[in-house]
A and B are shown apart, each in its own frame.
Chain A
Amino acid sequence: MARTDITSVLDNALADMRAGASIDECLRRYSAYAAELEPMLRIAATIRRQATTPLSPSLERWLVSSSVEIEQIARDAYAHPDPLTTRISRAVSMFGATFVRRGFPRFATFAITMILTCGMMFFGVDATAAHSLPDDSLYSWKLLSEEARLRFVRDPDTRAEILISIIEHRVGEIDALVDLPIAHLNQYQQSIDGVYAQIPLAVDALQMASPAMRDVSLGRLDDLLDRAARDLQHAPDPLSAAPGTLALAATDIRRVQANIPAAVAAPSVSLLSTTAPIPSPAQATLLFVPTRESLPSATPVSSPTATPTLLIVTVPRAGDAANEHIPFTPSIAPTSASTTNLGLSTQSTPHVPSATADDALPPTLLPTRTLAPTLYLLTPISAPNDPQSLATATASASGTPTATVTPIATATLTATVTPITTATLTTTVTPIATATLTTTVTVTPTVSVTVTHTVSVTVTPTVTPTLINTATPTATPTGILTATTTSTPTVTLTLTATPSPMSIPTATSSPSPTSSPSPTSSPSPTSSPSPTSSPTATPV
Chain B
Amino acid sequence: MPHPAELRDLIGRAQSRDPIAISELYNCYARLILRYIYVRVGEHELAQDLTQEVFIKVIHGIARFEYRDDKSFLGWLYTIAANVLCSHQRRRRFVFTSFELQNDLIDQHSQDNARTITDRVALQQAIKQLTKDQQQVLTLRFFADMSNSEIASLLRRTEGAIKALQHRAIQSLQRILSSDSDDMALPSASGSRSSTRIDLPPTLRESPTGD
Closest Cβ of chain B to A105, distance in Å, is 11
User: With a CB–CB cut-off of 8 A, which chain A residues contact B18?
Assistant: 78
From 1 to 55 in chain A, residues with beta carbon under 8 angstroms from any chain B beta carbon are 6-8, 10-11, 14, 17-18, 22-24, 39-51, 53, 55
Asked whether any CB of chain A lies closer than 8 Å to the CB of B195, the reply is no
Which of A23, A59, A67, A73 is in CB contact (< 8 Å) with B209?
A23
User: With a CB–CB cut-off of 8 A, which chain A residues contact B20?
Assistant: 71
A40 CA to B66 CA in the complex, in Å?
Answer: 35
Binds A, one of B32-40, B81-89, B90-98: B32-40
Closest Cβ of chain B to A211, distance in Å, is 66
Query: Contacts A46-B207, A97-B64 known; A67 to B123 CB distance under 8 Å?
Result: no
Could you tell me the dominant secondary structure of chain B's interface residues? Answer: helix
A17 CA to B60 CA in the complex, in Å?
Answer: 38
Q: Which residue of B lies closest to A42 (CB)?
A: B204
User: With a CB–CB cut-off of 8 A, which chain A residues contact B116?
Assistant: 49-50, 53
A48 CA to B209 CA in the complex, in Å?
Answer: 12
Asked whether any CB of chain A lies closer than 8 Å to the CB of B143, the reply is yes
User: With a CB–CB cut-off of 8 A, which chain B residues contact A42?
Assistant: 200, 204-205, 207, 210
User: With a CB–CB cut-off of 8 A, which chain B residues contact A68?
Assistant: 23
Q: Are A50 and B19 in contact (CB under 8 A)?
A: no
A502 CA to B177 CA in the complex, in Å?
Answer: 125
Asked whether any CB of chain A lies closer than 8 Å to the CB of B194, the reply is no
Which of A11, A59, A62 is in CB contact (< 8 Å) with B148?
A11
Which of B51, B56, B167, B200 is in CB contact (< 8 Å) with A39?
B200
Q: Which residue of A lies closest to B120 (CB)?
A: A50
Closest Cβ of chain B to A150, distance in Å, is 51
Closest Cβ of chain A to B30, distance in Å, is 6
Query: Contacts A8-B163, A56-B111 known; A41 to B19 CB distance under 8 Å?
Result: no
Q: Are A55 and B59 in contact (CB under 8 A)?
A: no
Query: Contacts A50-B123, A59-B34 known; A90 to B112 CB distance under 8 Å?
Result: no
Asked whether any CB of chain B lies closer than 8 Å to the CB of A93, the reply is yes
Q: Are A55 and B34 in contact (CB under 8 A)?
A: yes
Q: Are B38 and A40 in contact (CB under 8 A)?
A: no
Closest Cβ of chain B to A23, distance in Å, is 4
User: With a CB–CB cut-off of 8 A, which chain B residues contact A49?
Assistant: 116, 119, 207, 210-211
A75 CA to B17 CA in the complex, in Å?
Answer: 8
Asked whether any CB of chain A lies closer than 8 Å to the CB of B99, the reply is no
Closest Cβ of chain B to A19, distance in Å, is 11
Asked whether any CB of chain A lies closer than 8 Å to the CB of B27, the reply is yes
A452 CA to B25 CA in the complex, in Å?
Answer: 95
Closest Cβ of chain B to A168, distance in Å, is 59
Asked whether any CB of chain A lies closer than 8 Å to the CB of B199, the reply is yes
Which of B174, B204, B209 is in CB contact (< 8 Å) with A24?
B209
Q: How many residues of B contact A (CB 8 A)?
A: 63
Asked whether any CB of chain A lies closer than 8 Å to the CB of B184, the reply is no
Query: Contacts A10-B170, A59-B48 known; A41 to B210 CB distance under 8 Å?
Result: yes
Asked whether any CB of chain A lies closer than 8 Å to the CB of B10, the reply is no
A63 CA to B18 CA in the complex, in Å?
Answer: 20
Closest Cβ of chain B to A442, distance in Å, is 89
A97 CA to B76 CA in the complex, in Å?
Answer: 14
From 415 to 457 in chain A, residues with beta carbon under 8 angstroms from any chain B beta carbon are none
Asked whether any CB of chain B lies closer than 8 Å to the CB of A70, the reply is yes
Q: Are A70 and B66 in contact (CB under 8 A)?
A: no
Asked whether any CB of chain A lies closer than 8 Å to the CB of B208, the reply is yes
User: With a CB–CB cut-off of 8 A, which chain B residues contact A51?
Assistant: 35-36, 39, 142-143, 145
User: With a CB–CB cut-off of 8 A, which chain A residues contact B174?
Assistant: 39-40, 43
Q: Are B17 and A78 in contact (CB under 8 A)?
A: yes
Query: Contacts A45-B207, A63-B31, A70-B23 known; A58 to B44 CB distance under 8 Å?
Result: yes
Which of B56, B166, B171, B207 is in CB contact (< 8 Å) with A73?
B56
Q: Are A46 and B63 in contact (CB under 8 A)?
A: no
User: With a CB–CB cut-off of 8 A, which chain A residues contact B60?
Assistant: 77
Asked whether any CB of chain A lies closer than 8 Å to the CB of B193, the reply is no
Closest Cβ of chain A to B22, distance in Å, is 4
Q: Are A75 and B19 in contact (CB under 8 A)?
A: yes
Closest Cβ of chain B to A234, distance in Å, is 74
Contact code string A94-115 (vs B, CB < 8 Å = 1, else 0): 1001100100000000000000
Q: Which residue of B lies closest to A60 (CB)?
A: B31
What are 16 sample pairs from A and B whose C-beta atoms fall under 8 A apart?
A: A24-B208, A40-B170, A42-B204, A43-B177, A43-B200, A46-B204, A47-B123, A48-B210, A51-B35, A56-B44, A56-B107, A63-B30, A67-B27, A74-B59, A90-B63, A97-B64
Among all A-B residue pairs, the 5 with the closest Cβ atoms: A45-B210, A71-B23, A74-B19, A78-B17, A74-B22
Name A's B-contacting residues (CB within 8 A). 6-8, 10-11, 14, 17-18, 22-24, 39-51, 53, 55-60, 62-63, 66-75, 77-78, 90, 93-94, 97-98, 101
New contact pairs (18) apart from A42-B210, A56-B109, CB-CB < 8 Å: A11-B166, A44-B210, A46-B204, A49-B116, A51-B35, A51-B142, A53-B39, A56-B111, A59-B47, A60-B31, A62-B48, A63-B30, A66-B26, A66-B48, A70-B30, A70-B59, A90-B64, A97-B64
